[in-house]
Amino acid sequence: MARFVYLDHAATTPLHPQALQAMLPFLGEAYGNPSATYTLARRSSDAVTKARRTIAAILGCRPTELVFTGGGTESINTAIKGIALQQQLANSGNHIVTTTVEHHAVLHACQYLERFGFEVTLVPVDASGRVDAGDVARAVTRHTALVSVMTANNEVGTIQPVFEIADAVRARARALGKRIPFHTDAVQAPNSLPMNFADRGIDALSLAAHKFRGPKGVGVLYLRRGVPFLAQQNGGGQERQRRAGTENVAGIVATAEALRLTQASLGEDRDRIGALAARLRDGVLARIARTTPNGHAAERLVNNVSITFEGADAQELLRDLDAAGVACSSGAACGATTVEPSHVLLAMGLPLEAAASTVRFTLGPTTTEAEIDYVLETLPGVVARSRAAHLAPA
């Protein structure tokens, strides 16, 4: 393969070199268990404490309000199940409010809780994939135990008005005379938004390190002090008895460093990546007929370019782009034996055929102008071949 262009940063990101260097000692000589008390162990314990403080300063919370998990999915599941089940035990409700465009980690966690007597309300979104704060608040009842709305959509890049929603939910809860925690899946947010969410009234927040150039297998859960919570993983007393298991010291250290670096360069990266994303989006729309961008025009992640190519097949586009050295994703959830149209695109009102013709390009700090130009040179021919194949007689 002559060249390789990686445009799937929403799926995962390359590990930051400084994050890698930060974690290496704890994969080697500094191997102590942070729960022990001797010198070797204290080095690990001190490193976890420092990482916790670094992340807390960025989120605007107390270090003790952070829980390290095994990834974004675990962080989301821990938040939703832990809060909802404790609320149910306390007779504070068995109803969850979320949206139709959430990540499957949220939707499937809610479906799981339905087996235990919970009711789930899915609030619809508009054609841009955005939910209305008033609609969320109106879905809240005296039985509501939790509201969970993602910060930004992983498929189309639309940013939700989460702070407005959190305020509306809080006002509705006060009117009902109860407390209703608000959780957000912020996994896609750190590369585009300042992360001082705790200062803005968010009660619980989930992150995945590998989405912002940290290592895979590490997640962060912010859980505001006093929020009802039932631990989902039991054993030792780690994470203040909220998530048992020996800490992934190397991964935690690298996560803190990656988040620090990402947020430190946020303004510069957003400007550069946003310009490249606009170059790609505008170039595609100018070069290829019958193309439609997806997601909110303004309130969106700067690196996300989701485009529907009418008359083409997304899986064929991905295959041919991959052959040309371009890695990106479709608007579909692909399993081992099936390809299902994106629930996000369908919830936004796209017809089934359009959802099956959508490709997502997500850029990152390593993306260059030359790479974007290469994609713009390559893509028209790829789309034309797919369209021609579907026009050919059977």
Could you list the beta-strand ranges (E) of the chain.
5-6, 66-69, 95-99, 119-123, 144-148, 182-185, 204-208, 219-223, 291-293, 304-309, 326-327, 329-330, 332-334, 339-341, 358-362
| DSSP 8-state code for residue 351 | -
Residue type, 314: A
Specify which residues 326 forms β-bridges with: 5
| DSSP 8-state code for residue 66 | E
| 8 Å CB contact between 143 and 154 | no
Task: Give start and end residues of each alpha helix (H) in 177-246.
Answer: 238-241
| 8 Å CB contact between 310 and 357 | yes
Give me the DSSP letters along 290-315.
SEEE-S-SSSB-TTEEEEEETTS-HH
Burial classification of residue 235, based on how many CB atoms lie within 10 Å of its CB (0-12 exposed, 13-18 middle, 19 or more buried): exposed
Cite the active site residues.
334
What backbone phi and psi angles, to 5 degrees, belong to 297? -65, -35
Distance CA 218, CA 73 (A): 10
Q: Is the dihedral of CA 315, 320, 323, 325 positive or negative?
A: negative
Distance CA 358, CA 210 (A): 24
Distance CA 305, CA 34 (A): 42
Distance CA 232, CA 239 (A): 12
| 8 Å CB contact between 157 and 295 | yes
